[in-house]
Structure 1
Amino acid sequence: MNQEIINRLGVITDEEREIINGRTEIDLERYTQGKELVIDSKKMLEHGKMIRIRPHTRFVHFPRHKHNYIEVIYMCKGETTHIIDGEEVVLKTGELLFLNQHADQEILPAGEDDIAVNFIILPEFFDTAFEMMGEEENLLRDFLVGSLCFDPRYASFLHFQVADALPIQNLVENMVWTLLNDQPNKRSINQVTMGLLFLQLMHYTDKISHTKEGFEQKLIFQVLKFIDENYKEGELTELAISLNYNIYWLSRAIKKLTGRTYKELLQIKRLNKASFLLLNTGLSVTNISIAVGYDNTSYFHRIFRSYYSMSPKEYREKNKTTGL
């Protein structure tokens, strides 16, 4: 990250000065209005604002807490240790941590050279990002769905180890710079930038090292990740073997936890990928059918029509005409 930004974020804050001068605990009045330690967006955001950044408070143990907003933490320099839903997560330089309202978080004390920036974000800020991601099923979209509908079945946090992903680093730096310098139209700029960030992160599901602890959440995560990475040829048998589960038990568990069968989840993934290729490439419908895993073009036409209520050709012509 740009050194000027790191220098600005690394300045000792008034709160940190109090800690250095002897305060041994955080000042709860800075963070919450209630008795329970739920960090309140009304304390963290100005009225009418949907996003803000603040440096992570160092030198003190931050006790177990939740948020009534979505928090994104970017590690500019050094590292911080978080205990999330009982699981230790070490956030290192260049990495991102997304936490939704379900996450139970505790943070160990950080040193002066451990500089992180916290994005405090209201769920409605992600409307633009959600639209930019489209309807394609993926882990990040599911995380947002869980956040927006307060559904605890979905992952409460995502830890992206993306220090070597230059486009992601640039996008995060752009958002920090825009907010630090209070640029005009910063909400629109950052909503679009967040959407671009999500589109980039969709390509790094293999860089997610942790999710919410718990068998059901872990299983959903594993199934969706497998489909994300193997939608063309991934079979339920292969997934069952890789997870060491009985295929019939796994099939019933997927239906129970997601409301859809494995075949339905796979088909949705393939069709959403096909719609993306129809609108963003010049590939023929036959080649797109093969690319997403359907060798039988007639079958692909049939299921595409049943899902989108039009043929692939009609879908391409209509959406390009309307500019969707």
Structure 2
Amino acid sequence: MSYPKELREITDIADKDHPIHIFYNTCDNARPDQNILYLHWHEHFEIIVMQKGTGIFHIDSQPYEVGPGDVLFVPAGSLHTGYSTCSGDVAYLAIVWSNSLFQHWIQDSVHSRFVLPYLEGRARLPVMPTQLEPACADYYRLLDQAASEFKAKQPGYQLVIISQLHTLLTYLSRTFLPQQQQGRMNRTPTNNGERFKSLIQFIEANLSEKHTVDWAAKHLNLNPYHFCKMFKKLTGRTFIEYVNICRANEAERLLLESELSVTEIAGLIGCDNPNYFTRLFKQYKGMTPSQCRK
């Protein structure tokens, strides 16, 4: 798994006429608490389909524990990240798509009534629909079929996938939209991620600097206690743990993509003591910097 330097991910979808892509993510021999999805956000919608192993994903400051067969719906623009909760292989699909995928239905009144509210952000699907309605699991076969179509890429597979995804959204809308329209479900959950995005972007772009809880809390006009509580809910990590994870991820990238020495890399990520850098890197990556480079 690679870690981009930017918090905002510009999702690369080659087929602009049919903007959907399915990413097959694997993490072999994962350790409990190992990062399996870097913290990021993007303007596309995303569906996470857990296939192997167990994990916990933090989406809009809420944790969701998942195992094989579980599905999460990530709203566009939401900060999200994930960690393994098992020892062994972890695998999941990330189905990423743009609301323009259904532009040809825009004049359809039934589409406008049932699906468009979710595409335009006027309503939100539950992140984990089966928590509220277990019967929704019956609809997930459509995602398995879409993944098979994407992998095989038979003629016209794009149309099949679009049809399957649209059918899934319609089934979910049939289940949840009436409750949302009657005010029995929150349409727009509180999203604390927006105010943290600039802070996290600054940290990831300036890892050589010293980042403290007091400085970060002041940056957001929060007292340290409330800052730490909100940050942990958003990322699943304490502030110091998150900074160290970012440093370990950037060090891994530099070890694999550059010819800089271990000492030089340690300095670039804010670790002046090479021995401390080695201990930190092994804590989060399960190996020493030298072993990673080899």
Tell me the TM-score normalized by structure 1: 0.45
Structure scoring higher RCO (CA < 8 A, sep ≥ 6) equals 2
Larger Rg computed on CA atoms? 1
